């Protein structure tokens, strides 16, 4: 069996370690906007919006990189650049819009009666919104800038900063002076407003100051972007209310640093914006998005152990999205003889999933499992957290083994996908050995944890402890509607028989 050290030495660093992978989207943002600027400058004539955009990008690229890096790295910067690129190709090269940008255009058309109908006009309107970034650059560089009055889609943030706007007033942003006074236009009057240190509340509008923990801002309005239906469920959450989550986020980051310093270092370098949804909010529970690198949404007031689980999960989705931009994991089917199901069973979901989704789940949950094993081996957990951690590790190793067998049986991978799947398989073999040494497995008791960090063992109607094996088996019986697990002899022999119910 390969040791942990040997695994780390042999596995390509782009899988789990390389920080360069995490910078690719940041670099792509700048490269994409520079390319659009160059293409526009080569046109014989340009709109006013396009001319302003070219000037602003040229100016921003001349600013000290360390001063303006936080704005370039803001999740919205990548979203803006990717959308601009797609709109340019559609407007001038007649290339179809991808689904994400099509959703952006459709929502603008549906919700804004003044939305232009032609793609060139949509592209120009999008370019005008770069003014938000220009103002943020100027704030960071302590310079002044004037922009064409830009209507704010409230609530809206100044990218890369802790400030955001809300209200019912029709607000337009006109620029900023070197002293940090914003030019805001309302009712045809421009007023100068100092950037506040705390929330500035007026009658019909406000400027909010998001809590900041290290490089991370707790800022729900940062997710108010057209076309992102699921992740926007957090937008109504109060910016000022995010302060209540500072303690739990800080404790969570400290716990990850103790138990998984490699992941903690990457989170510190990559994650820019988090937002916490109060309990009872609708929409998705926890989520991240490939179009918003360095951002994630979480639900409820979670204790540090559960939030650490969630944060590691969403961070590694961010990492895998970045890796994927270097090349696909799955190849087009080349065989008419080999049967491959359209969907597979997911032990984390109540509905069948495409195999691509299961691949993402195996990658991120393997890292979550590693965190729990390290935490159990150390002394960072209290008694309740330790009991919950043993349950989580025991269940995760079972879920991952079930999922990996399906990937091996039905996945048709590119070379990169094969490399990643190979190392996931080796690492899970090592994780299984570690769980066995810690006496974790199907016999472990199912444990829940409330938002205060109190754990409770699950007991059935007969007063017996419910085991992980029983929980996994029952999930398969209920939700493996297509009986995928039964279609894999290796899975039946090695795993399902060990989970037989009494």
Peptide bond into 155 cis (omega under 30): yes
Q: How many CA atoms lie within 13 A of 22 on its CB side?
A: 22
Which contacts (CB < 8 Å, 24+ apart) does range 4-7 have? Answer: 4/430, 7/423, 7/426, 7/427, 7/430
Please tell me the predicted confidence (pLDDT) of residue 502.
Answer: 36
**Helix segments in 344-412, DSSP class H:** 355-377, 383-410
Nearby residues of 425 by Cβ (< 8 Å), 6 or more positions away: 404, 408
Nearby residues of 153 by Cβ (< 8 Å), 6 or more positions away: 224
Phi, psi dihedral angles at 461 (to 5 degrees): -65, -20
pLDDT digits (tens, 9 = 90+) for 198-245: 999 999 999 999 999 999 999 999 999 999 988 988 999 999 999 999
Distance CA 68, CA 70 (A): 6
Three-class secondary structure of residue 335 per DSSP: coil
Distance CA 386, CA 389 (A): 5
Please tell me the predicted confidence (pLDDT) of residue 98.
Answer: 95
From the list 189, 221, 209, 197, the residue with the least C-alpha distance to 74 is 221
Check residue 353 and report its DSSP letter. Answer: B
Check residue 76 and report its DSSP letter. Answer: H
Distance CA 272, CA 14 (A): 21
CB 467 within 8 A of CB 457: no
Beta bridge pairs of residue 273:
217, 295
DSSP string, 216-242: EEE-GGGG--TT-TTGGGGTTS-TGGG
Distance CA 422, CA 166 (A): 49
Could you tell me the mean pLDDT of each successive run of 10 residues in the chain, 502 residues long?
44 89 91 97 94 97 94 97 97 94 92 80 96 97 96 96 95 94 93 96 95 97 93 92 95 97 95 90 84 93 91 97 92 68 93 94 98 96 97 96 92 92 94 95 94 93 94 94 87 64 38
Nearby residues of 439 by Cβ (< 8 Å), 6 or more positions away: none
Please tell me the predicted confidence (pLDDT) of residue 340.
Answer: 79
The alpha carbon of residue 353 and the mean position of all alpha carbons in its chain are separated, in whole angstroms, by 19
Distance CA 54, CA 347 (A): 49
Q: How many CB atoms lie within 10 A of CB 238?
A: 13
DSSP string, 234-294: GTTS-TGGGGGGHHHHHHHHHHHHHH-HHHHHHHHHH--EEEEEPTT--S-SSB--TTSTT
From the list 352, 319, 294, 339, the residue with the least C-alpha distance to 475 is 352
Please tell me the predicted confidence (pLDDT) of residue 6.
Answer: 43
> For residues 268-289, b (16+ Cβ closer than 10 Å) or e, as one string?
eebbbbbbbbbeebebeebbbb
pLDDT digits (tens, 9 = 90+) for 9-24: 568 999 999 888 888 9
Phi, psi dihedral angles at 191 (to 5 degrees): -120, 150
From the list 141, 372, 160, 157, the residue with the least C-alpha distance to 259 is 372
pLDDT digits (tens, 9 = 90+) for 400-454: 999 999 999 999 999 999 999 999 999 999 999 999 999 999 999 999 999 889 9
H or E element that contains 106? helix 99-111
Number of H helices, E strands in the chain: 17, 14
CB 182 within 8 A of CB 238: no
Terminal CA-to-CA distance of the chain, rounded, Å?
33
Please tell me the predicted confidence (pLDDT) of residue 5.
Answer: 44
Three-class secondary structure of residue 157 per DSSP: strand
Please tell me the predicted confidence (pLDDT) of residue 194.
Answer: 96
């Amino acid at each position: 069996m390969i040791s942990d050290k040997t695994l780390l030495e042999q596995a390509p660093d782009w899988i789990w370690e390389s920080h360069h992978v995490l910078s690719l989207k940041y670099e792509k943002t700048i490269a994409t906007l520079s390319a659009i600027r160059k293409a526009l400058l080569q046109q014989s004539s340009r709109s006013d919006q396009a001319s302003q955009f070219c000037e602003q990008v040229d100016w921003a690229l001349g600013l000290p990189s360390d001063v303006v890096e936080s704005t370039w790295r803001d999740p919205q910067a990548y979203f803006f650049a990717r959308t601009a690129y797609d709109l340019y190709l559609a407007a001038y090269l007649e290339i179809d819009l991808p689904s994400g940008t099509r959703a952006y255009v459709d929502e603008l058309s549906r919700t804004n009666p003044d939305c232009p109908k032609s793609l060139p006009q949509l592209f120009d309107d999008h370019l005008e919104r770069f003014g938000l970034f220009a103002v943020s650059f100027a704030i960071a560089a302590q310079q002044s800038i004037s922009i064409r009055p830009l209507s704010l889609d409230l609530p809206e943030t100044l990218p890369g900063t802790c400030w955001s706007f809300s209200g019912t007033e029709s607000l337009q942003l006109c620029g900023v002076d070197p002293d940090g006074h914003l030019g805001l236009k309302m009712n045809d009057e421009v007023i100068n407003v100092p950037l506040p240190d705390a929330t500035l509340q007026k009658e019909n509008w406000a400027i909010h100051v998001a809590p900041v923990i290290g490089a991370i801002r707790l800022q729900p309005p940062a997710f108010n972007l057209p076309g992102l239906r699921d992740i926007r469920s957090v937008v109504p959450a109060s910016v000022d209310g995010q302060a209540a989550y500072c303690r739990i986020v800080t404790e969570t980051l400290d716990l990850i640093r103790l138990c998984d310093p490699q992941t903690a270092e990457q989170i510190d370098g990559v994650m820019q914006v988090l937002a916490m949804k109060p309990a009872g909010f609708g929409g998705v529970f926890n989520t991240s998005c490939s179009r918003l690198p360095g951002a994630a949404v979480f639900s409820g007031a979670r204790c540090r152990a559960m939030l650490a689980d969630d944060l590691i999960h969403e961070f590694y989705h961010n990492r895998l999205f970045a890796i994927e931009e270097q090349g696909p994991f799955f190849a087009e089917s080349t065989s008419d003889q080999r049967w491959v199901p359209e969907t597979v069973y997911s032990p984390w979901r109540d509905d069948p999933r495409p195999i691509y989704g299961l691949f993402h789940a195996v990658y991120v949950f393997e890292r979550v499992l590693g965190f729990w094993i390290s935490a159990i081996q150390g002394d960072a957990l209290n008694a309740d957290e330790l009991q919950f951690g043993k349950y989580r590790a025991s269940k995760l190793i079972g879920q991952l083994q079930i999922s990996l067998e399906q990937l091996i049986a039905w996945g048709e991978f590119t070379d990169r996908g094969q490399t990643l799947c190979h190392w996931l398989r080796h690492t899970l073999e090592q994780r299984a050995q570690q769980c066995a040494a810690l006496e974790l497995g199907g016999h472990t008791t199912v444990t829940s944890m409330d938002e205060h960090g109190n754990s409770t063992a699950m007991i059935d109607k007969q007063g017996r402890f419910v085991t992980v094996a029983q929980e996994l088996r029952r999930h398969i019986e209920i939700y493996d509607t297509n009986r995928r697990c039964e279609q894999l002899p290796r899975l039946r022999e090695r795993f399902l028989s060990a989970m037989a119910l009494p």
